[in-house]
Amino acid sequence: MTEVFDCPHCGFQLWRLDRSPMCDEWVFYCVSCPRRVEVSFYDTVVNVIQNQLRSKERSNDYKALIEKIEAQLKTCSCGGHYKLTVAKRCFNCNAEVIEKDDHGSMGRGIELYPGIFYVDEDDELDLAIEVQYVEFEEKFVRRENIWKPL
Ligand SMILES: [Zn+2]
Ligand SMILES: [Zn+2]
């Protein structure tokens, strides 16, 4: 499912996108702001955590793995923690716009973007939008320097 809608609190346009089942990363959202962290399934720290779970606790439990990853992630610059299942917040006013138990279709994760980044397949990519997208990622999406020391 993909949907463009206005934030009910401030009117800022948002784009909700259900993640592809082909993706190979998790997206953890901050509990108190719209920032998020992308963690690859193949991240070395994820590997270490997985091995620790298997050898020490003899666990292959997905929930335990996610909890360990959440505990290992650095806190957000706002002071909040990152969680896999958490309400998604408006980029403009920080209101919760998607409930935390609202899973995407087929149980996939949900991603939220500012509405200006929504494009039809036929639309040409606008350079100005691309520049704004880079700024958006710098502000809201982290992929590096995401872990506390092991
Ligand atoms: Zn935050
Ligand atoms: Zn808003």
Edge-first strand listing for the sheet containing 82-83: 82-83, 25-30, 36-40, 141-142
Ranges of each domain in the chain: 2-142
Ligand 1 geometric centre to CA of 36 (Å): 8
pLDDT at 58 over 80: no
Which ligand neighbours the alpha carbon of 80 most closely?
1
CA 8 to chain centre: 21
Flag the least confident range among 5-9, 17-21, 145-149.
17-21
Round to whole Å and give the CA distance between 73 and 109: 19
Ligand 2 geometric centre to CA of 55 (Å): 45
Using a pLDDT cut of 70, give the percent of the chain over it: 95
Q: What is the pLDDT of residues 17-35, one digit of tens each?
A: 988 778 889 999 999 999 9
Assess contact for 36 and 87: CB atoms under 8 A: no
Residue positions counted in the chain = 150
pTM for the predicted model, two decimal places = 0.90
Closest CA to 91 of 51, 145, 36: 36
Ligand 1 geometric centre to CA of 111 (Å): 16
φ/ψ (deg, to 5) at 53? -60, -45
What is the chain's mean pLDDT, rounded?
Answer: 91
Q: What is the pLDDT of residues 112-146, one digit of tens each?
A: 999 999 977 777 778 888 899 999 999 999 999 99
